[in-house]
Amino acid sequence: MAYRPRTRIWTPAALSVGVVRSDDLKDHLRITSTSENSYVAAIGLAATSAVERWTQRLLTVRTAVLRLENLPTGQCPIELPGGAVASVTSVVADGVTITGCVALGESPAVLVPSADWPTVIGEGYPVVITYQVGLASVPGDLVQAIKMIAADMYTTRENVVDGPSSKAIISAEWLMAPHRIWAAA
């Protein structure tokens, strides 16, 4: 079982561009004018972010930082949120760099040490794990889910109190479900 403390801080780098190009999204929305380009880009980014939150998986490779209050005992693996880990940049505990750690898997990924984890003495969140995480290539069903959510956002521009404004969200969830990362048991 992987170590996944309730008190942790996970900070991925901000999503700077949507997965679906604005031109492709405009085609999907059947928009021919340029008057709504900035709005289309904004909902594309918001839809991408929504898919990332629901799947618990970053759709573009970027830096993430996981901060922990302590380390597990022995060689217990640590769960790394975000999906497929491309590389581990650094693992620092109490200001000391820990070497020899390897990231394995992706649903969820885990960080495995080459030796027992050291005892953490520092206060706050003295364990800082920095890594590159995310998909190198986004599967077509997730791209379609982004388009469906963006279309729903485009069509319904006001807040909907009673739930999803259409069945598009339910259909998008169906497309995203195989890619969702569940917490390690």
Q: Could you read off the pLDDT tens digit of each residue along the chain, which spans 185 residues?
A: 899 998 999 999 999 888 999 999 999 999 998 898 999 999 999 999 999 999 999 999 999 999 999 999 999 999 999 999 999 999 999 999 999 999 998 888 999 999 999 999 889 999 999 999 999 999 999 999 999 999 988 888 766 656 555 555 678 888 999 899 886 55
What is the pLDDT at residue 169? 65
Up-side HSE of residue 152: CA atoms within 13 Å toward CB? 21
What is the pLDDT at residue 163? 56
Q: Look up residue 79 and give its two tokens.
A: 């769960």
What is the pLDDT at residue 168? 59
Contacts of 123 (CB under 8 A, 6+ apart): none
What is the pLDDT at residue 167? 58
What is the pLDDT at residue 147? 94
What is the pLDDT at residue 123? 92
What is the pLDDT at residue 130? 98
Distance, in Å, from the CA atom of 106 to the CA atom of 57, rounded to the nearest integer, reads 9
